[in-house]
Amino acid sequence: MSEASRFPVLAVLGAADATAEEELVAEAVGALAARCGWVVLTGGGPGVMAAASRGAVAAGGLTLGILPNQRPAADYPNPWVRLAVFTGAGSARNAFNVLSATLCVAIGGGAGTLSEIALALKAEVPVWCWRSWQVEPPPAHGRALPRVFEDRHALLAALGAELRQPGSADRVTT
């Protein structure tokens, strides 16, 4: 499948035990991505994952959940996941999340989110972080750094501009 015929995929990364503000931002990010024609990919669980999926579905979008378990379990998948991929891979599914993404947005998060940020950086998938982990590689590595936001309005404005640009799936900026 050529890159031109593939749907752009926004992976929304974050914790199952998210704060109310993190869920609010995740829901807005999911809705924005859906309105721009992007598939919203999450880990398929509660918290940030459910909020992003809920926002995308409410905006008429498609959601994809890459699940850690082999079969449905409590909170996995959340009710807004439209396509569920049961991996049985536990936390190793984090690699599938970021490798399937055109762009990743990390919202808050714990150690699992940090692992996804690191995997995305290693795979050279752009990462934008809102009140999430801030990582900086040693200067000799020359890798692109995550784009960091503290203000949710700034994140949503930048993301909206990025997702709406023609061909943005082929050249997302870091």
- pLDDT confidence of residue 5: 60
Query: Contact, 167 vs 149, CB < 8 A?
Result: no
Which residues in the chain land under pLDDT 50? none
Using DSSP, state whether 75 is helix, strand or coil.
Answer: coil
- pLDDT confidence of residue 35: 97
Tens of pLDDT, residues 42-84: 999 999 999 999 999 999 999 999 999 999 999 999 999 999 9
Tell which CATH classification among 3.20.20.210, 3.40.50.450, 3.20.20.70, 3.30.70.260 matches the domain 12-162.
Answer: 3.40.50.450
- pLDDT confidence of residue 173: 53
Q: What are phi and psi of 28, to 5 degrees?
A: -65, -40
Query: Contact, 44 vs 67, CB < 8 A?
Result: yes
Residues 6+ apart with CB under 8 A from 84: 44, 65, 67, 72, 77
Residues 6+ apart with CB under 8 A from 79: 50
Using CA of residue 94, residue 97, residue 99, residue 101, what is the dihedral sign? Answer: negative
Residues 6+ apart with CB under 8 A from 76: 44, 45, 65, 67, 68, 69
Burial class (CB in 10 A: 0-12, 13-18, 19+), 167: exposed
- What are the extents of the domains in the chain? 12-162
Residues 6+ apart with CB under 8 A from 5: none
Alpha carbon distance 162, 109 (integer Å): 23
- pLDDT confidence of residue 137: 74
Alpha carbon distance 29, 55 (integer Å): 7
| Cα distances (Å, whole numbers) of residue 70 to 46, 59, 65 | 17, 29, 13
